[in-house]
A and B are shown apart, each in its own frame.
Chain A
Amino acid sequence: MRDQKGASSTRLWVATRKGAFLFESDSARKSWQQKGPYYLGHIAHHVLQDPRDPRIVLIAARTGHLGPTMFRSTNGGRTFKEVSRPPAFATRDDGSGRTVSHTFWLMPAHRNEPGVWYAGTSPQGLFRSDDAGDSWSEASTIHDDPDYRRWFGTAQDGTPNGPMLHSILIDPRDPKHLYIGMSGGGVHESWDRGRTFKPLLDGLEVVGGFDPSDPSFHDPHCIQMCPTNPDRLYQQNHCGIYRMDRSEGRWHRIGKKMPKRVGDIGFPIVLSPHNDQTAWVFPMDGSDVWPRVSPNGQPAVYCTVDGGRRWIRQDAGLPTGQAWWTVKRQAMSADTHAKVGIYFGTTSGELWGSRDGGAKWSLIARHLPEIYAVEAFVQ
């Protein structure tokens, strides 16, 4: 959508515990117009607009009392309709079948595969749609692989919202080359469109006393692939911040350079659309019982511009104290403008944005429900 001068607008699709919202900016990204809520009362886990076909927008949703589903727009978000067949595991009569609690992560496939999408679910499953999200089927043999079934764990091993398959990454040079993250269960790589996977854990730490060679003990929170260098991955993990250059095949804990009083625990990680050295994280208090709030109630984004050798605190405009919220793994996003906009939504329902790569923050909206995901889309 372009204004009368031909400048682009930025959209923020916001998924919350009580529905989805859309915020649309002017070309300067100074003022924002709110639309929604869409499907008020539904738990919206993720909302994404297809960069290959902006007419398509998917909302992964459920309610506390009904089964999971997905809603789809084919007109850029003006109207939505429930999809024909949401992700579901195969029916088994022997009691071994699993049940999708909710779709957690949405990802359009390769640019040369229009209409193809992937979805990650809780409990962990990888699903694929070949019709722009209208119908879904199981995409991977890992669903029935004995090792993966063990690594998936159970409700006792997963997050408070269940075990999740997330961070579905597609190599822009090869549609068959994918990565996924499993919480818990580790980072995994596929060379056959997700049919099979292998763990990619070398260099990752686990909680003390456990075997780092066992994927069960790994908990990647969010993995991202550099848009300008698909061979470079960054990861916010339960045990720190990491970077991997795929040719080396080993994760390096770049979070050790974070200030000790803040630490390197958190959920989201966001990468620059313009270089492979710049990343943003949102640290949280991961001490003792994991309060999952900003350290000392003082929220801040941390940014590196040199691949993790140094981290810069970015808190100008953010509350200076008594702010007891944090940011979930899908609730932070970058736009693609030359001067990168960074956005995050909080567990207390505030939507924050920066038009200058995190140097200064301003509040876009408050009093929203708990925010689960924020996705920027420039059109």
Chain B
Amino acid sequence: MSGIRVGIPSPLQSYTGATEVTAQGHDLEALLADLDRQFPGIRFRMLDEQRCLRRHIRVFVNGRQTFSLSEALQPGDHVAIVQALSGG
């Protein structure tokens, strides 16, 4: 099974050591769980304990923004995790 390519923003590359990694998951929630298995701790920096994406985290699936953890994913999809950086 081919994986899903996941783009990693610079603030999270301390976890992955790479700008892009491969993960598995039938939806976004499963994908984040797999990322956390591979890179422990990365999920909580993006998703809070009430399962909400944190304030400055944006996720794009094949170029389209989504806010839903149940967003279905297919092998070969591209998921871009983006940090909406602001000042301070």
Contact = CB atoms under 8 A, between A and B. Distances in A.
Interface of A: 63-67, 69, 82, 84, 86, 88-92, 97-100
State the majority secondary structure of interface residues on A.
loop
Interface stretch (B22-30, B43-51, B60-68): B43-51
A66 B50 contact: no
A278 to B, nearest CB: 39
Nearest to A87: B49
Interface string B59-88: 000000000000000000000000111101
B18 interface: no
Contacts of B44: 67, 69, 86, 88
Contacts of A64: 56, 86, 88
Contacts of A67: 44-48, 54
A67 B50 CA distance: 12
B49 A97 contact: yes
Contacts, number: 52
Interface of B: 11-12, 40-41, 44-52, 54-57, 83-86, 88
23 contacts: A64-B56, A64-B88, A65-B11, A65-B56, A65-B57, A65-B83, A65-B85, A66-B45, A66-B46, A66-B54, A66-B56, A67-B45, A67-B47, A67-B48, A69-B44, A86-B44, A88-B48, A90-B49, A98-B50, A99-B50, A99-B52, A100-B48, A100-B49
Nearest to B55: A65
Nearest to B40: A84
A85 B32 CA distance: 16
Contact of B50 (A63, A82, A84, A92): A92
Contacts of A86: 44
Most chain B C-beta atoms within 10 Å of own C-beta, residue among A67, A97, A99: A67
A91 B46 contact: no
B77 to A, nearest CB: 24
Contacts of A90: 49
A258 to B, nearest CB: 35
Most chain A C-beta atoms within 10 Å of own C-beta, residue among B50, B56, B84, B88: B50
Given A63-B11, A66-B12, A69-B41, A89 B49 contact: yes
A65 B86 contact: yes
A304 B88 CA distance: 38
Q: Which 4 A-B pairs have the closest CB atoms?
A: A88-B49, A65-B56, A66-B45, A99-B48
